Amino acid sequence: MSGIAPIFRKEMEDHFTSVRFVLITALILMVGIIITSMVGMGLRSELEGYSKPPFVFLLLFTATGRFFSFAQFIGFFGPLMGIILGFDSINRERIGRTLTKLLSQPIYRDSVINAKFLSGIGIIGIILLGMILLICGLSFILVGVVPGGSEIMRLFLYFVITLVYVSFWLSVSILFSIIFRSTATSALASLALWIFFSFFLGIGGSFIADALAPLKEGSTVDPAVLLRHERIQRIVSFFSPISVYTDTTSILLDPLRKTTKGIVLMGPLERLSISRFQGPLPVLDSLLIVLPHVVSLVALTLVCFAICYFVFMRQEIRSA
């Protein structure tokens, strides 16, 4: 592909020297270290005198110390990272009138958008990988545990899925930077979408669930209605990449969790089987549970990027 390499190189240089890169890295680094230290020290004092249970290492990512866990933090902050890296990628060039210059060079038009997308993913990957490795290092020091093979596998899957998740937000913000001429508008549009998915979709879900399957207060709850209520809420939440991502990573990082569902109705037989089989799941089985989630997350990202691509290729580039 003609032209990807030089644009990719320049975009990476731009990212690395930009203030915003320093800011988001510093923020993630700071919050990550604080959370991990708190969780790590808590674990150490709790484990004093006991032999270490299996998978204590992954607790560093999932245990919610005093505020929230690292995984929750990334679930919440990851979108912001993608948005910050992408919201002005195309319209900045348009405002600076460099887009015409760029496109009058012998490069394919799609190289521009591919290179911008790839460089964003590269930066996100570097920050995330650095952070995960840092937490691993802290775990040696604070808790004295070393990750085993399956834990490393789980962390790797977590890394890949987080990369896809943040890339989704990157492509959303790139799409807005193609559609809107002003960088402020594209930033606000991306943020609005993020806030909608983070807060309002959850509220909307419980609202719809209350309307369709109302739970009467005070009286004993009919399990069937409760289940229906829960199911409606879940269906609504599936429209939000944030809850899809949170479900996925909570399963992947916790071998003891066997379902993403919040409520499971159990008969005597299920109760027996649950108490018999308390053991952790193999990595592959955890992955199988969330496979639909993973597929839909990847599909969302690809669809969003495809729309970017399509809109950008058909757009008039006239500077006027």
Question: Which residues of the shown chain bind another protein in the complex (CB under 8 A)?
Answer: 2-3, 5-7, 9-10, 93, 96-108, 316-320
Q: Which residue has the tokens 């969330």?
A: 290
Cβ proximity to another protein, 10 vs 52, nearer residue: 10
- The residue ranges of DSSP E strands in the chain, in sequence order, are none
Q: With beta carbons less than 8 A apart as the criterion, state whether 58 and 79 touch.
A: no
Q: How does DSSP classify residue 280?
A: P
Cβ proximity to another protein, 76 vs 108, nearer residue: 108
Cβ proximity to another protein, 103 vs 153, nearer residue: 103
Contacts of 226 (CB under 8 A, 6+ apart): 215, 263
CA distance 33 to 39: 10
Two structure tokens written together for 108: 């394919």
Name the minimum Å distance from CB 319 to another protein.
6
CA distance 280 to 194: 34
- Nearest CA to 257 among 285, 230, 231? 285
Name the minimum Å distance from CB 115 to another protein.
11
Cβ proximity to another protein, 37 vs 315, nearer residue: 315
Cβ proximity to another protein, 211 vs 320, nearer residue: 320
- Nearest CA to 123 among 89, 150, 99, 153? 89
Name the minimum Å distance from CB 180 to another protein.
19
CA distance 192 to 190: 5
Cβ proximity to another protein, 3 vs 75, nearer residue: 3
Name the minimum Å distance from CB 126 to another protein.
22
**Alpha-carbon dihedral angle through residues 20, 24, 30, 34, given to the nearest 10 degrees:** 160
Two structure tokens written together for 97: 């009138």
CA distance 122 to 129: 10
What residue type is 255 in one-letter code?
A: P
Name the minimum Å distance from CB 184 to another protein.
18
By residue count, the chain amounts to 320
Name the minimum Å distance from CB 12 to another protein.
13
What sign has the CA pseudo-torsion 109, 320, 85, 187? negative
Cβ proximity to another protein, 110 vs 201, nearer residue: 110
Name the minimum Å distance from CB 320 to another protein.
7
Cβ proximity to another protein, 107 vs 138, nearer residue: 107
Two structure tokens written together for 200: 């309002």
- Nearest CA to 248 among 200, 202, 297, 302? 297
Cβ proximity to another protein, 100 vs 273, nearer residue: 100
CA distance 260 to 246: 10
Name the minimum Å distance from CB 84 to another protein.
18
Name the minimum Å distance from CB 5 to another protein.
8
What sign has the CA pseudo-torsion 214, 218, 224, 227? positive
